[in-house]
C-alpha cells in the first residue's frame, strides 16, 4: 500500500513537472515571437517549429533512440534530387556557394538585400566548418571538411551520402545543428550537387 502511494505520488509529481515544462516552452515561444515584428522583411514562418524541431527542443537535442530513428527516417523521406539525377555538379559553382557568407537572405534592409537582387543564398559553411586549407577564417562547430574527398573517396555511396547529408543533415543525425539546407529551401537540389562536387572532386581545392 505504502509503495503504491509512493508510486502514485511520483507519477503525480512527474506529470506536474512535464506540465510546467510545456508551459515554460509555450511562454518562451510567445516571448521570442513577440520580439519580431512582421513587415520588416522577416520570414515569420521560421518561428513556427515543425515536428522535428519540437522533438529536439523538448528533449534538449537528445531524443530516445526509438524517436530519433523515426525522426531520421521521416527526414530522409523528404530528400529531393536534381531533375537530371546528377549528384556531382560543378565544383567551381559549389565553391561560390560554400564561401557565400549568407544563409537565407530574408532582409529587405541593406546590407542584406533579398536573394533575387544579389547572387542568391549561400551555404555559409565556414561559419561552422574548415573547408579549403587556405581559408583561415573558419568555424569549428562542425568537423573539418579539409581533404574530405581525399579521405572518403568518390564512390557512389559516398556521393549519395554527401548529397543527402547536405540536403537534410537531420536525416542522419537526429538533432544536428547543421541547417537542413535543401529541406528548408536555402539551397536548390542543383546547388547541393555543386557543393557535393566541391567537397568530393579531386580537382577541388578541398582535396589539394
| Under rule CB under 6 A, residue 87 binds ligand HEC | no
CA angle 88, 89, 93 (to 5 degrees): 140
Residue 87 CB, shortest distance to ligand HEC, in Å, is: 13
Say whether residue 179 binds ligand HEC (CB under 6 A). Answer: yes
In sequence order, which residues have a C-beta less than 8 Å from that of residue 127 and are 6 or more positions away?
101, 139, 141
Residue 39: CB minimum distance to ligand HEC, A: 27
Q: Pick the binder of ligand HEC from 58, 106, 128, 158 (CB under 6 A).
A: 128
**Crossing angle of the two packed helices 91-99 and 189-200, in degrees rounded to 10:** 100
Respond yes or no on whether the N-terminal peptide bond of residue 111 is cis (omega within 30° of 0): yes
Q: Is 113 in the site for ligand HEC (CB under 6 A)?
A: no
Q: How far is the CB of 192 from ligand HEC (least distance, A)?
A: 8
DSSP 151: H
Nearer to ligand HEC, 88 or 98 (CB): 98
Look at the block and give the residue holding cell 568530393: 200
Establish if 194 lies at the interface with ligand HEC (CB under 6 A): no
Q: Find the angle CA(123)-CA(121)-CA(206) to the nearest 5 degrees.
A: 30
Please check whether residue 201 is in contact with residue 95, taking contact to mean a CB–CB distance below 8 angstroms. no
- Closer to ligand HEC by Cβ: residue 115 or 178: 178
Compute the residue count for the chain: 208
Residue 79 in contact with ligand HEC, rule: CB under 6 A: no
Interface residue with ligand HEC among 49, 173, 190, 205 (CB under 6 A) is 173
Q: Does residue number 185 form part of the binding site for ligand HEC (CB under 6 A)?
A: no
User: Quick one: 49 exposed, middle or buried, by C-beta within 10 A (0-12, 13-18, 19+)?
Assistant: middle
143 binds ligand HEC (CB under 6 A): yes
Residue 78 CB contacts under 8 Å (≥ 6 apart), including other chains? 168, 171, 183
Closer Cβ to ligand HEC, 2 or 60, answer by number: 60
Residue 192 has what DSSP assignment? H
List 55, 68, 79, 98, residue binding ligand HEC (CB under 6 A)? 98
Binding site for ligand HEC (CB under 6 A): 98, 123-125, 127-129, 141-143, 145, 162, 165-166, 169, 173, 176-179, 181, 195, 199
Amino acid at each position: 500500500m505504502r509503495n503504491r502511494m509512493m508510486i502514485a505520488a511520483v507519477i503525480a509529481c512527474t506529470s506536474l513537472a512535464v506540465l510546467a515544462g510545456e508551459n515554460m516552452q509555450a511562454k518562451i515561444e510567445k516571448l521570442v515571437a513577440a520580439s519580431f515584428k512582421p513587415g520588416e522583411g522577416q520570414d515569420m514562418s521560421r518561428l513556427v517549429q515543425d515536428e522535428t524541431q519540437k522533438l529536439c527542443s523538448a528533449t534538449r537535442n537528445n531524443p530516445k533512440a526509438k524517436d530519433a530513428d523515426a525522426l531520421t527516417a521521416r527526414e530522409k523521406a523528404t530528400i529531393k534530387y536534381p531533375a537530371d539525377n546528377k549528384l556531382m555538379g560543378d565544383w567551381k559553382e559549389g565553391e561560390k556557394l560554400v564561401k557565400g557568407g549568407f544563409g537565407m537572405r530574408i532582409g529587405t534592409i541593406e546590407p542584406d538585400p533579398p536573394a533575387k537582387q544579389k547572387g542568391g543564398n549561400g551555404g555559409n559553411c565556414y561559419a561552422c566548418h574548415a573547408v579549403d586549407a587556405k581559408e583561415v577564417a573558419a568555424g569549428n562547430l562542425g568537423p573539418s571538411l579539409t581533404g574530405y574527398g581525399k579521405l572518403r573517396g568518390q564512390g557512389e555511396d559516398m556521393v549519395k551520402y554527401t548529397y543527402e547529408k547536405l540536403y537534410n543533415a537531420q536525416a542522419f543525425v537526429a538533432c544536428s545543428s547543421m541547417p537542413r539546407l535543401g529541406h528548408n529551401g536555402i539551397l536548390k537540389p542543383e546547388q547541393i550537387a555543386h557543393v557535393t562536387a566541391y567537397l568530393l572532386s579531386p580537382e577541388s581545392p578541398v582535396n589539394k
